[in-house]
Structure 1
Amino acid sequence: MAGPSLEGLINPDMLAWARTQSRMDVATAAAKVHQTAERLTEWEAGTRAPTLNQLRELANVYKRSVGVFFLKERPRVPRRPVDYRQFEVKARETMTPALANGMREAEAKRDAALDIYTQMEEAPPEWDLQIRRDASADHAAEVILARLGVTMQTRAGWQNHYEALSGWRAAVESLGVLVVQLRNVPMEEMRGCSIAHFPLPVIILNSADSPLGRVFTLLHELTHLARAESGLCDLTEDAPRAEADEQVEAFCNRVAGLVLVPPADLLRLPEVQRANDNTQWRPESLQAMRRMFWTSQEVILRRLLDNGKTSREFYRAMREQFQRDYAAQRDQAGGPVPYYRVVLLNNGRLLTRLALNAYGAQAITGAELSRILNAKLDHLPKIREALKGEVIA
């Protein structure tokens, strides 16, 4: 049975609003709910109304609660992060639905976390990482690295790039940052995003990126937050974008590189001390430093260039090779990821632990927990076990 009609109860304007906020045209949205474009147009015009089951389908596609369709007027939409991406990406008419919905869901997770703190009568972590916008990149990196507490000794304990990502992510979350991850978003559209709402600012990573690529993005976006600015970034160097935007992105890239490869630790290496501005580095040497600092060879080589230990021509040639290698690696399909790990990757340890604690204290219901984490409750035992110390990256 189709179910009773909701004619006269729902606001048809909210149907159109939710669709456009999800960056979908009528034909795309109609296909996703197994309706004709003409029928969806009738619903949005108010000449016909969907049933409750059909409304639930729309809510699922638009990543909204059913209740939003009963509102009398459109809610205020939070201001989006500044778009620092290159011109050719910004010029596209719309975001993909995956990115638009993902950014909105990230903000909803933050709202849910703040509600939990209120219900638990606890204060959210105080945000105290602040960098003046006229500060030098070197000073900014020193401040950030000191607050994160990730030393060379810490890095020596990591066995692979997944442990490196997990370690850096845990360090950033310890500052009171929600670190979430989006899936099904093209790398060309977004590598990272920062939402500078305090307390509990948000960093969004792209699961399509490599582990060490996500580490760099994480620190790039953390720099945005330290400057109290939100940003939607692709991190592309030398890309066509407004001069002011290019300066901000170059600054955040430089800070991320300095945090990952501190100058004092780089320059004390004997092989680096022997190098000059014409040195052409062997792959084995770059690989060794990659495992020492746990960052990409491109970042290592850029830091060597910045310290006068290679030539710009060699850096550019090798960077092109690195980009080809990255593209080839992304094209190789990875194995299936266990469901409980997907939940942790998408939500981060901070939010997952907070929500589970609230559920255990009966501050939220099972249905609320499932909605916040977008997780099935029968996977809770494995999620709890993973929070005890498994590498999540």
Structure 2
Amino acid sequence: MVERVAVNPEVVAWAADAASAADIHLDRFAKLEDWIDGLLDPTFGQLQDFASTTHVPLGYFFLDHVPEEHLPVTDFRRREVRGSAPSSALLDTIATCSERQDWFSAYLARLGADPSPLVGSVTISTAPETAAGAISDAVGYAAGAPSATQQDALRHMVEAVESSGIMVMVNSLVGNNTHRRLDSDEFQGFTLVDSLAPLVFVNGSDTKNAQAFTLFHEVAHVALGIPGVSSSAGSPDHDHDLAEVERWCNAVAGRVLVPAAMIPARVDLSNPEPTLEALGRRFHVSTLVVLRRLHDEGRLTWDRFREIYLAEEARLRAIAVRRLDEDKSSGGNPYYVWPYRVGRRFARAVIADAREGGTLYRDAYRLLSTRTTRAFDGFAAHLEAH
């Protein structure tokens, strides 16, 4: 006789709905509808498989009610996104980054490192221009520096921010799991604040231009000393959906990437597309960021800004510029994107400490999202060579 385990059908339905929203296919669970309807319970083996597939803790299926999951940091996303429960992909990514931050902060404390001078160095009453100048100086970033490609430009930005003592992680996946992709419509980045090891995470599922803006938006959160999860405001009509903190961080990021002094004295927007494209390429930002900066500097009335912005937003959506992430440009070398997924400075510290006996290899593997000695050694060799 087949032994089955009694589960809460409501939790099974909740897990199935969340998996479907994340494009996780459940076709192989032939009796899933019966489990949801309470007509049949799964076997323990089937339940283990289902829990693993849907990324839901096994114990949840025995709860009396559907669990309420909350973000561990402030939710600064736009209003319509804040109204939905966070995905397991987002929650797991925050948990992984938090564990890495805790490890790195303790590691730096052992070395006697000084606190980061950027954390909490400004307040929301600081003028965005002043904060942008302080951030640019702290990270050594020069706006508009020539780069062969947008990916090269983003790489230089990440390396500049890391050199200032901020942990930076850019990933389109949960860890290294190619079956669990992050959704840039759910969030674009988040910040975890720590005096020794502040951390910013950038959703690599977005365009390179959008990632650049998110990077410095999150650095602005570090400067404020305020952690949280962020998303784009979308069109100008959605600006009111954002908290004051988010609007301030957007203003700072825009000024870091497109300083007022570098905007040409004359900008012809009679035919917006070529002008915006040229300025976007110069500053390595999206044309929408260029438009916002022109409006910030009084070059456009609100009505004209909104008109051009909505048309440009539709144009960008039509040409499908999204979903071009590092995984598709790595040339088949898995070690190419790995340093950006976990952070180059952090990875080097974990590898060095494991080799010196300070960290168990099994813990080092988990921190670097790997499972094998071969992958660990290959990643270490890649870092040493680059």
Of residues 278-287 and 288-297 in structure 1, the stretch that sits farther from structure 2 once superposed is: 278-287
Amino acid at match of 1:343: W
**Is 1:227 aligned to residue 224 of structure 2?**
yes
Report the 3-state secondary structure (helix = DSSP H, G, I; strand = E; otherwise coil) of the residue aligned with 2:320: helix
Report the 3-state secondary structure (helix = DSSP H, G, I; strand = E; otherwise coil) of the residue aligned with 1:387: helix
What TM-score do the two structures reach when normalised by structure 2? Answer: 0.74
Q: In structure 2, what is the equivalent of residue 350 of structure 1?
A: 345
CA RMSD across the alignment: 4.1
Report the 3-state secondary structure (helix = DSSP H, G, I; strand = E; otherwise coil) of the residue aligned with 2:247: helix
Q: In structure 1, what is the equivalent of residue 366 of structure 2?
A: 371
| Aligned residue among 117, 135, 139 for 2:126 | 135
| 1:175-219: CA deviation from partner (whole Å, max 9, x where unpaired) | 222222342122221011111233212212111111121110011
Instruction: Tell me the CA shift for residue 342 of structure 1.
Output: 3.8
Q: Give, in whole Å, the separation in 1 of the partners of 2:27 and 2:89.
A: 13
Q: Give, in whole Å, the separation in 2 of the partners of 1:343 and 1:259.
A: 27
Change (3 A) 1:371 1:33: farther
Matches within 5 A, 1:265-304: 265-266=262-263, 272-275=264-267, 279-280=269-270, 282-304=272-294
Q: Give, in whole Å, the separation in 2 of the partners of 1:242 and 1:283.
A: 26
Instruction: Tell me the CA shift for residue 95 of structure 1.
Output: 1.3
Q: In structure 2, what is the equivalent of residue 255 of structure 1?
A: 252
Matches within 5 A, 1:86-105: 86-92=78-84, 94-105=85-96
Amino acid at match of 1:150: Y
| 1:9-61: CA deviation from partner (whole Å, max 9, x where unpaired) | xxxxxx99xxx9xx9638879x79979889x99xxxxxx9979xx97996897
| 1:250-284: CA deviation from partner (whole Å, max 9, x where unpaired) | 11111100000111122xxxxx3234xx8435533
Report the 3-state secondary structure (helix = DSSP H, G, I; strand = E; otherwise coil) of the residue aligned with 1:151: coil
Matches within 5 A, 1:105-120: 105-117=96-108
| 1:260-309: CA deviation from partner (whole Å, max 9, x where unpaired) | 0111122xxxxx3234xx84355333333223222222212222222233
Q: In structure 2, what is the equivalent of residue 146 of structure 1?
A: 137
Amino acid at match of 1:363: G
Amino acid at match of 2:254: G
**Is 1:159 aligned to residue 148 of structure 2?**
yes
Tell me if the contact between 1:193 and 1:231 (Cα under 8 Å) persists in the aligned partners: yes
What TM-score do the two structures reach when normalised by structure 1? Answer: 0.73
Q: Give, in whole Å, the separation in 1 of the partners of 2:113 and 2:48.
A: 35
Q: In structure 2, what is the equivalent of residue 309 of structure 1?
A: 299
Q: In structure 2, what is the equivalent of residue 73 of structure 1?
A: none
Change (3 A) 1:251 1:280: farther
| 1:81-134: CA deviation from partner (whole Å, max 9, x where unpaired) | 211122221112x2111111111111111122234446xx31345211110221
Change (3 A) 1:358 1:197: same
Amino acid at match of 2:82: K
**Is 1:387 aligned to residue 378 of structure 2?**
no
Instruction: Tell me the CA shift for residue 235 of structure 1.
Output: 2.2
Tell me if the contact between 2:124 and 2:245 (Cα under 8 Å) persists in the aligned partners: no
| 1:294-330: CA deviation from partner (whole Å, max 9, x where unpaired) | 2222212222222233444443233224323443434
| Aligned residue among 15, 19, 35 for 1:25 | 15
Matches within 5 A, 1:184-199: 184-199=181-196
Report the 3-state secondary structure (helix = DSSP H, G, I; strand = E; otherwise coil) of the residue aligned with 2:200: strand
Tell me if the contact between 2:188 and 2:203 (Cα under 8 Å) persists in the aligned partners: yes
| 1:157-183: CA deviation from partner (whole Å, max 9, x where unpaired) | 421111111111112122222222342
Q: Give, in whole Å, the separation in 2 of the partners of 1:242 and 1:316.
A: 14
Q: Give, in whole Å, the separation in 2 of the partners of 1:209 and 1:379.
A: 27
Q: Give, in whole Å, the separation in 1 of the partners of 2:14 and 2:363.
A: 27
Of residues 325-334 and 311-320 in structure 1, the stretch that sits farther from structure 2 once superposed is: 325-334
Tell me if the contact between 1:279 and 1:309 (Cα under 8 Å) persists in the aligned partners: no
Change (3 A) 1:386 1:300: farther
Q: Give, in whole Å, the separation in 1 of the partners of 2:373 and 2:247.
A: 43
